[in-house]
Amino acid sequence: MAAVRVPDLGLAAAGGPRPGADDDPRPGDRNHWGPGGRRRHPDGTWQVSDDGSSYVGYRVREQLAFLNSPNEAVGQSTAVTGTMEVAGDTVEAVKIEADLTQLKSDEPRRDNAIRQRGLESERYPTATLELAEPIQLESTPAQGEEVRGQGKGRLTVHGVTREVDLDLGGLWNGSTIQVVGQLPVKMSDFQIQAPRFGPVVSIEDGLAIDLNLVFERA
């Protein structure tokens, strides 16, 4: 299966750390803290922020009866939870869950169709992505600098689990970590039959799963 394509993080996660109890230096722990009581590295446990900035989504090409060329359908769910464990230049563990019943696109008929057919999100409401092994980063994370890492993951959708190759980008800004990626998959690999509705003549088997995850300290 193809690897994740990593979009440019840009400035989405830029900025200084937010004040909080976690920013206060602890006696005897000077190697972990920099000037102003800021952490030198992002070691520890992180959780997906509940501020609605994270999402899991899809991009798929569909042919509409009234268009000569395919249309790209895009849907996203911001109902995402999960955790990540970081130690030095290694991501030890990740587990992400997304509520697929909350997927929304620009077409309500499409959203309703995949709840009952195809993705069948009413029957299989949760998608899960977790690491099959730790990810070795290309370098130890430094504040404000993008890092990338590759590894193996397990993706569960529609009640089917498949191993996938991961190639993700991350940016730590001192208070949050943003992780992005785009994972090409085939619906048929997950026993999903593309649903049709209204003017949709056909839908391609291949699609991309978009990941945009913002983590804060647990």
> What pLDDT is stored for residue 13 in this prediction?
35
Round the CA-based radius of gyration of the chain to a whole number and report it: 19
Res. 185: pLDDT tops 90: yes
> What pLDDT is stored for residue 147 in this prediction?
96
> What pLDDT is stored for residue 39 in this prediction?
64
More confident residue, 192 or 200: 192
Sequence-ordered list of residues with C-beta below 8 angstroms from that of 139, at least 6 positions apart, any chain: 89, 147
Q: pLDDT tens digit string along 116-128?
A: 999 999 999 999 9
What phi-psi label fits residue 54: left (phi over 0), alpha (psi between -120 and 50 degrees) or beta? beta
Sequence-ordered list of residues with C-beta below 8 angstroms from that of 179, at least 6 positions apart, any chain: 84, 168, 169, 170, 211, 212, 213, 215
Look at residues 168, 132, 186 and name the one whose alpha carbon lies nearest to residue 4: 168
Res. 129: pLDDT tops 60: yes
Mean pLDDT for the stretch of residues 140-154: 94
Distance CA 74, CA 58 (A): 6
Q: pLDDT tens digit string along 26-58?
A: 344 444 444 444 567 899 999 999 999 999 999
Sequence-ordered list of residues with C-beta below 8 angstroms from that of 178, at least 6 positions apart, any chain: 9, 12, 13, 170, 171, 212, 213, 214, 215
Domains and CATH numbers, the chain: 41-217 (2.40.128.110)
More confident residue, 96 or 20: 96
Res. 65: pLDDT tops 80: no
Q: What mean pLDDT is reported for the chain?
A: 84
> What pLDDT is stored for residue 21 in this prediction?
37
**Token pair in block for residue 39:** 């952490």
> What pLDDT is stored for residue 97 in this prediction?
98
Res. 145: pLDDT tops 80: yes
Mean pLDDT for the stretch of residues 208-215: 96
Q: pLDDT tens digit string along 15-34?
A: 333 333 344 433 444 444 44
